[in-house]
């Protein structure tokens, strides 16, 4: 008789966005004349840049000609893309990452949830609180987290690292040493970044303890300030302890096209075994590569024209972020993030819970955001707004919130 993977039963319902969706639907059906502005979900809204569209068109045409048709992509991804990534994202920043250390994929979500497969089932993970839920849920599915505890609102065998205004939303080094450490900067949901010095402390800690850092840099292109590392490999010794995930989703609007990559240094080991061959094997066995046309679109992001156009797009979202940040600050809110990230993390006014504030915003000014408590207990009394809306909607939403 077939049985199920019982670990799945330990997953907590993906209750955050479904509960938001339900509340918004109910409100809209009771108030059909109200115009709701959604600054909740982190999806982009700007169209794909012209240089990328042009590369897509040419690649589509190539697929229609016998002489240029492409079938399965190479396991690690096409060399033209891996070369462009190594050159522009790493060498240009002084990071010694070779094209062979880059695994092209269809996005960071799959990679950062699948990576745990190459580690032992007994490895203990550490995550930030609040956190992008994928890191925890993928480990729950693998049976690495223990039971869920309703009182602490967390899994018993996970090390949760509080990210609070006191530590600038960058976690302190944990007392109990984890085997796998998930870090994400610029951060979703807090919009926080980590300085190079503080990230270096994490690298030193991981090397000293034999831990591996799983570094999610999906929002790297939003960094505007000096002194903030774009890659963990800017830190000394990171090639000995870190894997990095990147995404084209927010950098170039690829949430619907799907493209990302993972960097695994060739000599990175865990328990004396090299990780690169394991991920290569995993990739080769379970994955057949991002489509050629999408990899060509990815390559176009590194052309002179493409770079300028996607930079403009990121600047557009960052300008939205500035409107939100300045507008809320001016209205007396305690506001974080938004400078090096498309997320604004605000403290709810008074002693309102995250969900109470959500209800107020929806019902009184018809604006939708995301309750911070949905990302973990330390997100309680916080609220996330995203800068991915249109300029017009963003400005209107902030004007409405000011009048709350
Ligand atoms: N990592 C973080 C922190 C994210 O917020 C997201 C998407 O919202 C992803 C990864 C997923 O990226 P992708 O679209 O490349 O799968």
- CB-based burial of residue 218 (10 Å sphere; 0-12 exposed, 13-18 middle, 19+ buried)? buried
Q: Distance, CA 69 to ligand 1 centroid (Å)?
A: 31
Assess contact for 323 and 394: CB atoms under 8 A.
Answer: yes
Ligand 1 pocket test, candidate residues 42, 43, 103, 108, most atoms within 8 A of CB: 108
The model's pLDDT over 224-240, given as tens digits with 9 standing for 90+, comes to: 999 999 999 999 999 99
Q: In the structure encoding, which two tokens stand for residue 178, read together?
A: 């984890």
d(CA 212, CA 206): 6
The model's pLDDT over 39-69, given as tens digits with 9 standing for 90+, comes to: 998 899 999 999 999 999 999 999 999 999 9
Ligand 1-lining residues (CB < 6 angstroms):
42, 107-109, 112, 132, 184, 188, 216, 218, 247, 249, 255, 260
User: Strand 180-184 to strand 212-216: parallel, antiparallel, or no bridges (unpaired)?
Assistant: parallel
Least confident of 9-13, 90-94, 296-300, 353-357: 9-13
- pLDDT for position 199: 98
Mean pLDDT taken over the chain: 97
Q: What is the pTM of this model?
A: 0.97
Three-state secondary-structure class, residue 139:
helix
Ligand 1 pocket test, candidate residues 248, 249, 250, most atoms within 8 A of CB: 249
pLDDT at 15 over 90: no
The model's pLDDT over 77-130, given as tens digits with 9 standing for 90+, comes to: 999 999 999 999 999 999 999 999 999 999 999 999 999 999 999 999 999 999
Closest listed residue to residue 44, CA positions, set 35, 34, 52, 56: 52
The model's pLDDT over 126-159, given as tens digits with 9 standing for 90+, comes to: 999 999 999 999 999 999 999 999 999 999 999 9
Q: In the structure encoding, which two tokens stand for residue 309, read together?
A: 């156009």
Q: Which helix (H) or strand (E) holds 103?
A: strand 102-105
Determine the Cα angle at 211 with ends 92 and 251, to 5°. 35
pLDDT at 315 over 90: yes
């Amino acid at each position: 008789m077939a049985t199920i993977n019982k670990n799945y039963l330990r997953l907590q319902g993906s209750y955050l966005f479904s509960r938001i969706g339900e509340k918004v639907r109910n409100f809209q059906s009771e108030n059909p004349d109200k115009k709701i502005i959604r600054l909740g979900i982190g999806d982009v809204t700007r169209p794909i840049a012209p240089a990328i569209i042009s590369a897509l068109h040419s690649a589509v045409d190539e697929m229609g000609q016998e002489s240029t048709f492409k079938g399965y992509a190479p396991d690690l991804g096409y060399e033209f893309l891996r070369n462009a990534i190594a050159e522009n994202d790493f060498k240009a920043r002084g990071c010694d990452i070779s094209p062979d250390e880059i695994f092209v994929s269809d996005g960071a979500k799959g990679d950062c949830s699948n990576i745990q497969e190459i580690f032992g089932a007994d490895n203990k993970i550490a995550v930030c609180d609040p956190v992008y839920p994928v890191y925890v849920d993928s480990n729950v599915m693998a049976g690495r987290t223990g039971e869920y505890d309703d009182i602490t609102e967390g899994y018993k065998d996970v090390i949760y690292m509080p990210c609070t205004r006191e530590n600038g939303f960058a976690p302190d080094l944990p007392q109990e040493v984890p085997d796998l450490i998930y870090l994400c900067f610029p951060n979703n949901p807090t919009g926080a970044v980590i300085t190079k010095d503080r990230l270096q402390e994490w690298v030193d800690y991981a090397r000293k303890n034999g831990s591996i850092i799983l570094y999610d840099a999906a929002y790297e292109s939003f960094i505007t300030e000096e002194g903030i590392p774009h890659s963990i490999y800017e830190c000394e010794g990171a090639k000995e302890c870190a894997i990095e995930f990147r995404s084209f989703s927010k950098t170039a609007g690829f949430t619907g096209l799907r493209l990302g990559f993972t960097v695994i240094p060739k000599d990175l080991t865990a328990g004396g075994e090299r990780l690169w061959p394991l991920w290569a094997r995993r990739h080769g066995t379970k994955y057949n590569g991002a489509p050629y046309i999408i990899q060509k679109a990815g390559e176009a992001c590194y052309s002179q024209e493409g770079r300028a156009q996607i930079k403009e797009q990121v600047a557009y979202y960052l300008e939205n972020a500035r409107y939100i940040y300045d507008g809320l600050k001016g209205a007396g809110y305690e506001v974080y993030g938004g400078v090096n990230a498309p997320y604004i993390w605000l403290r709810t006014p008074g002693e309102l819970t995250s969900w109470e504030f959500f209800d107020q915003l929806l019902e009184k000014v018809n604006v939708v955001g995301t309750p911070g408590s949905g990302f973990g207990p330390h997100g309680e009394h916080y609220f996330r707004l995203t800068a991915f809306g249109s300029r017009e909607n963003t400005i209107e939403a902030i004007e409405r919130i000011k009048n709350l």
